[in-house]
């Protein structure tokens, strides 16, 4: 066996492992736009999230994720998706539900970022 060829193969395999390991974990970064009162969550790139998905499929899956989220009243939430950017508008009855909705939306495959424009509506 050619030593140089084996060395090249080992180097290629090592490079592949290093590149792959960097894309295993995905995380969300949250920025608050204090002027507009909106929260923007950017989802870190990972191999599974970079898949282009139709806007309708992303919207449907985000709505489904919101309905499945415990302790979240999603009845007043509207969802719009455009090229992986999801916008949540409408209202929720409790402040903590704003963050729950943003987290649920960002967990959906194909979501690149979430613009969380939800507001608090007190039930009287």
What is the domain partition of the chain in residue ranges? 26-120
| CA-based radius of gyration for the chain | 20
pTM comes to 0.64
At 28-68, the pLDDT tens digits run 455 555 445 666 766 655 444 446 899 999 999 999 999 99
Closest CA to 55 of 8, 107, 108: 108
């Amino acid at each position: 066996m050619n030593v140089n060829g084996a060395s090249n193969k080992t180097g290629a395999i090592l490079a592949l492992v290093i590149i792959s390991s960097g894309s295993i974990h995905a995380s969300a970064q949250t920025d608050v736009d204090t002027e507009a009162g909106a929260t923007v969550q950017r989802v870190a790139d990972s191999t599974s999230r970079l898949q282009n998905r139709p806007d309708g499929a992303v919207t449907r899956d985000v709505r489904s994720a919101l309905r499945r989220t415990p302790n979240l009243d999603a009845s007043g939430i509207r969802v719009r998706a455009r090229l992986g950017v999801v916008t949540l508008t409408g209202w929720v009855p409790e402040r903590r539900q704003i963050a729950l909705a943003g987290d649920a939306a960002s967990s959906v495959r194909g979501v690149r970022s979430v613009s969380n424009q939800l507001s608090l509506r007190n039930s009287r």
